[in-house]
Structure 1
Amino acid sequence: MSAAPSVSPARPRSGLARFDSLRVKLFLAIAGANVVLVMAAYLIYGWSFDRGLVEYLNKADETRLQPLVVRLANGYRQHGHWDWIAGDRERWFELSREVLGSGRVQRRPGEQGQPPGAPPPTNNAPAPAGPRPAAEAPPPGNPPALTIDPRLLLLDAERRVIIGPEWRAEQAVLKPITVDERLVGYLGYVPRLQMVASLERVFQAQQTRTYAAIALGLFAAVLLNAALIAHWLSRRLRALGAGTTAIAQGDYEVRLNAQGHDELAQLADDFNRMAVSLQAARQARQQWIADIAHELRTPLATLRAEIEALQDGIRQPDAANLDSLAQEVSRLTRLVDDLRLLSLSDLGALDYRFAPLDLGRFVADYLHEATARPGQRLRLSTDLPEGLSVRADGDRLDQVLANLLQNTLRYTHEPASLDVRLVRDGDEARLSWEDSAPGVPAEALPRLTDRLYRVDESRASASGGSGLGLAIARAIVEGHGGRMTASASALGGLRWDLWLPLHAEAEHD
Structure 2
Amino acid sequence: MPPLTLHRKVFLALTVLLLALLLMFAGLSRWGLQRGLGPYVADIELARLGWLAERLQTHHTESGGWQRLRAEPGLWGRLSHPGWTGSQPQGVPLRSPAQTGTHSPESEALYPPPPPPGPPPFERPGTGPRGGPKPPPRHTDDLFPRLGVLDEQERVVAGTPPTPGSARTALRGADGAVIGHLVLAPPPGLRSEADQAFLAQQMGFIAGTGLAGLALALLLSGWITRRWLAPVEALAHGANRIAQGHLDTRVPAHGHDELAQLTRTFNTMAEQLSNLEASRRQWLSDVAHELRTPLAAMRAEIEALQDGVRPFDDKTALRLHRQVMRLIQLVGDLRASLDTTHHSAFTARVPVHPLPLLAEALASMRLRFALAAIEVDATGLQALATMPTPPLVHGDAEQLQRVFLNLLENSLRYTDPGGLLRIHACLIPAENGPPHLQVQFDDSAPGVPSHELPRLFDRLYRAESSRNRDHGGSGLGLAICRAIVLAHGGTLSAEPSALGGLRLTLLLPLLDTPTT
Structure 1 length-normalised TM? 0.73
Which of 398, 401, 417 is matched with 1:398 structurally? Answer: 401
Structure 1 residue 87: Cα displacement: 7.4
In the aligned structure 2, how far is the partner of 1:313 from the partner of 1:156? 137
In the aligned structure 2, how far is the partner of 1:119 from the partner of 1:241? 98
With over 3 angstroms needed to count, the CA separation of the structure-2 counterparts of 1:394 and 1:191, relative to structure 1, is: same
Answering whether residue 444 of structure 2 is matched by residue 437 of structure 1, we say yes
Kept in 1: contact 2:427–2:438 (CA 8 A): yes
* Aligned partner letter, 1:36: A
In the aligned structure 1, how far is the partner of 2:392 from the partner of 2:48? 95
Question: Match of 2:129?
Answer: none
With over 3 angstroms needed to count, the CA separation of the structure-2 counterparts of 1:54 and 1:78, relative to structure 1, is: same
Structure 1 residue 473: Cα displacement: 0.8
Q: CA RMSD in A?
A: 4.3
In the aligned structure 1, how far is the partner of 2:482 from the partner of 2:281? 22
* Aligned partner letter, 2:252: N
Which of 263, 266, 272 is matched with 2:267 structurally? Answer: 272
Q: Percent identity?
A: 34
Question: Match of 2:314?
Answer: 319
Question: Match of 2:125?
Answer: none
In the aligned structure 1, how far is the partner of 2:189 from the partner of 2:181? 17
Kept in 1: contact 2:441–2:504 (CA 8 A): yes
Question: Match of 1:207?
Answer: 202
Question: Match of 2:26?
Answer: 42
In the aligned structure 2, how far is the partner of 1:27 from the partner of 1:398? 65
Question: Match of 1:501?
Answer: 509
Structure 1 residue 328: Cα displacement: 1.8
* Aligned partner letter, 2:394: R
Answering whether residue 227 of structure 2 is matched by residue 219 of structure 1, we say no
Which of 455, 470, 473 is matched with 1:462 structurally? Answer: 470
With over 3 angstroms needed to count, the CA separation of the structure-2 counterparts of 1:345 and 1:92, relative to structure 1, is: farther
Question: Match of 2:72?
Answer: none
Question: Match of 1:480?
Answer: 488
In the aligned structure 2, how far is the partner of 1:462 from the partner of 1:456? 11
In the aligned structure 2, how far is the partner of 1:495 from the partner of 1:353? 30
* Aligned partner letter, 2:415: T
With over 3 angstroms needed to count, the CA separation of the structure-2 counterparts of 1:500 and 1:91, relative to structure 1, is: farther
In the aligned structure 2, how far is the partner of 1:42 from the partner of 1:347? 66
Structure 1 residue 488: Cα displacement: 2.4
With over 3 angstroms needed to count, the CA separation of the structure-2 counterparts of 1:19 and 1:156, relative to structure 1, is: closer
With over 3 angstroms needed to count, the CA separation of the structure-2 counterparts of 1:433 and 1:223, relative to structure 1, is: same
- What is the DSSP-based 3-state SS (H/G/I as helix, E as strand, rest coil) of the residue aligned with 1:388? coil
Q: C-alpha offsets along residues 186-225 of structure 1, whole Å, 9 cap, x if unaligned?
A: 5533245458753544322322222122222233334434
In the aligned structure 2, how far is the partner of 1:92 from the partner of 1:497? 115
In the aligned structure 2, how far is the partner of 1:432 from the partner of 1:156? 101
Which of 229, 233, 256 is matched with 1:261 structurally? Answer: 256
Kept in 1: contact 2:426–2:438 (CA 8 A): yes
For 1:280-319, what aligned pairs fall within 5 Å after superposition? 280-319=275-314
Answering whether residue 497 of structure 2 is matched by residue 489 of structure 1, we say yes
Question: Match of 2:390?
Answer: 387
- What is the DSSP-based 3-state SS (H/G/I as helix, E as strand, rest coil) of the residue aligned with 1:417? strand
Count of aligned positions: 453
**Structure 1, unaligned runs of 5 or more:** 1-14, 95-107, 109-117, 128-135
Question: Match of 1:452?
Answer: 460
* Aligned partner letter, 2:276: A
With over 3 angstroms needed to count, the CA separation of the structure-2 counterparts of 1:463 and 1:477, relative to structure 1, is: same
For 1:87-486, what aligned pairs fall within 5 Å after superposition? 147-150=138-141, 151=143, 161=158, 168=160, 177=171, 179=173, 186-194=180-188, 197-198=191-192, 199-233=194-228, 235-348=230-343, 352-371=347-366, 375=370, 377-383=375-381, 384-385=384-385, 386-413=389-416, 414-426=418-430, 427-438=434-445, 439-456=447-464, 460-486=468-494
- What is the DSSP-based 3-state SS (H/G/I as helix, E as strand, rest coil) of the residue aligned with 2:468? helix
With over 3 angstroms needed to count, the CA separation of the structure-2 counterparts of 1:170 and 1:428, relative to structure 1, is: closer
Kept in 2: contact 1:483–1:498 (CA 8 A): yes
With over 3 angstroms needed to count, the CA separation of the structure-2 counterparts of 1:46 and 1:507, relative to structure 1, is: farther
In the aligned structure 2, how far is the partner of 1:50 from the partner of 1:170? 19
With over 3 angstroms needed to count, the CA separation of the structure-2 counterparts of 1:70 and 1:401, relative to structure 1, is: farther
Structure 1 residue 474: Cα displacement: 0.9
With over 3 angstroms needed to count, the CA separation of the structure-2 counterparts of 1:43 and 1:498, relative to structure 1, is: farther
Question: Match of 2:15?
Answer: 31
Structure 1 residue 30: Cα displacement: 1.8
* Aligned partner letter, 1:37: L
In the aligned structure 2, how far is the partner of 1:368 from the partner of 1:33? 81
Structure 2 length-normalised TM? 0.73
Q: C-alpha offsets along residues 371-404 of structure 1, whole Å, 9 cap, x if unaligned?
A: 3668354232233354322111111112211111
Kept in 1: contact 2:148–2:184 (CA 8 A): no
With over 3 angstroms needed to count, the CA separation of the structure-2 counterparts of 1:29 and 1:80, relative to structure 1, is: closer
Kept in 2: contact 1:246–1:252 (CA 8 A): yes
In the aligned structure 2, how far is the partner of 1:145 from the partner of 1:507? 106
Structure 1 residue 424: Cα displacement: 4.0
In the aligned structure 2, how far is the partner of 1:434 from the partner of 1:313? 50
Q: C-alpha offsets along residues 250-287 of structure 1, whole Å, 9 cap, x if unaligned?
A: 12222222233333333332222222222222221221
Structure 1 residue 78: Cα displacement: 6.7
* Aligned partner letter, 1:304: R
In the aligned structure 2, how far is the partner of 1:282 from the partner of 1:345? 21
With over 3 angstroms needed to count, the CA separation of the structure-2 counterparts of 1:342 and 1:87, relative to structure 1, is: closer
- What is the DSSP-based 3-state SS (H/G/I as helix, E as strand, rest coil) of the residue aligned with 2:422? strand
* Aligned partner letter, 2:487: G
In the aligned structure 2, how far is the partner of 1:424 from the partner of 1:411? 29
Structure 1 residue 58: Cα displacement: 5.7
- What is the DSSP-based 3-state SS (H/G/I as helix, E as strand, rest coil) of the residue aligned with 1:497? strand
**Structure 2, unaligned runs of 5 or more:** 70-74, 87-96, 98-103, 121-134
Q: C-alpha offsets along residues 62-91 of structure 1, whole Å, 9 cap, x if unaligned?
A: 788789757854675478588999679657
- What is the DSSP-based 3-state SS (H/G/I as helix, E as strand, rest coil) of the residue aligned with 1:367? helix
